[in-house]
Amino acid sequence: ADTLKELRELNDTVKGEDADTHQVREEAARLAKEANIDTLKYSFNYNRLEATLLSTSVVILLSGMIFHSNAFPRGTWQYTVLTVCIGAFIVGGAFGFSVILGYEVYRSIRFAGVVNQARLCAERLAAAKAVQTHTKTKKLTKGLS
């Protein structure tokens, strides 16, 4: 949050005609590095996540085969325990998937905001550089005439 605030202040600085482009670039690079360190953290090991969901699916399918084979007659304690365990697997897998999906959507939306801020900063930096180039060209032209 503080880094984004500093980037916004830097964008406002770039708007002015007297901004030092080199200093602005160094400051933008420093802020981008800080933002990168703050935001790019390891979140999920997707291979482990996939392996967990696949193993959960295999257990659920095997339990379906057990139910279908009538290995445990309905109403016995084994049948009830198997039903509760498989229900917990299904609910746990669905909950875990939902949490990870929600986090990924949140992170994607947040990243889109950061990309938009970076694009605005780049446009303002290019505009400031164009103004400085134009000003220098005017001074050189006046000096020659």
pTM of the model: 0.51
What integer pLDDT is reported at residue 122 of this predicted model? 81
Q: For the chain, what is the mean pLDDT?
A: 77
Q: Between residues 78 and 1, which one has the greater pLDDT?
A: 78
Split at pLDDT 50, 70, 90, the class of 62 is very high
Region 87-116: mean pLDDT is 86
Position 120 confidence tier, pLDDT thresholds 50, 70, 90: confident
Q: Is the pLDDT of residue 101 over 60?
A: yes
For the chain, percent of residues with pLDDT exceeding 70: 64
How many CB atoms neighbour CB 127 within 10 A?
Answer: 13
Distance, in Å, from the CA atom of 72 to the CA atom of 106, rounded to the nearest integer, reads 44
pLDDT at 88: 94
pLDDT reported for residue 61? 93
Indicate the domain borders of the chain: 2-144
